[in-house]
């Protein structure tokens, strides 16, 4: 590869493209470019090149925040399909799972679910 081509791949043009993508993201979201959060989410310098980290950070944040909701939704969908000793107990567990999302769901799944039967 020519020296000019190597310079184009490892130098300014790549950095300019990454910065332009980050600038568009900032403008679309209405965030200030000087915000420390924007600086952390958007770019990281590695070997003199700015890399856009925004998509990876957002995916990680969504995963971290949504994973505890999975057992909650599963328990909310499972409670009506199970036979409890009384309708009152079913309502109480539904209220517990709804009020204390992750902890209530884990208690229901681990301790209570095995003592109930599926409704035929």
pLDDT tens readout for residues 64-104 = 888 999 999 999 999 999 999 999 999 999 999 999 999 99
Residue 8 has pLDDT above 60, yes or no: no
Question: How does residue 57 score in pLDDT terms, banded at 50, 70 and 90?
Answer: confident
Work out the average pLDDT over 25-45. Answer: 54
What average pLDDT does the chain have?
75
Work out the average pLDDT over 12-17. Answer: 57
Q: Nearest CA to 49 among 22, 20, 24, 14?
A: 14
d(CA 11, CA 21): 16
Q: Nearest CA to 21 among 5, 43, 39, 36?
A: 43
The residue whose two tokens read 């081509």 is 5
18: left (phi over 0), alpha (psi -120 to 50) or beta: alpha
Q: What pLDDT, on a 0 to 100 scale, did the predictor assign at position 26?
A: 52
d(CA 76, CA 104): 10
Work out the average pLDDT over 27-36. Answer: 54
**pTM (global) more than 0.85:** no
Q: What pLDDT, on a 0 to 100 scale, did the predictor assign at position 89?
A: 95
């Amino acid at each position: 590869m020519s020296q000019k081509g190597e310079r184009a791949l490892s130098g300014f043009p790549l950095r300019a493209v990454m910065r332009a993508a980050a600038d568009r993201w900032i403008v679309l979201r209405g965030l200030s470019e000087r915000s420390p959060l924007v600086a952390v989410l958007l770019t990281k310098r590695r070997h003199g090149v700015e890399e856009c980290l925004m998509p990876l950070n957002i995916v990680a944040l969504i995963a971290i925040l949504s994973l505890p909701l999975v057992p909650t939704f599963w328990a909310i969908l499972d409670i009506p399909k199970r036979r409890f000793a009384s309708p009152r107990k079913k309502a109480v567990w539904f209220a517990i799972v709804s009020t204390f999302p992750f902890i209530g769901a884990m208690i229901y799944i681990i301790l209570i679910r095995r003592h109930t039967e599926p409704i035929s």
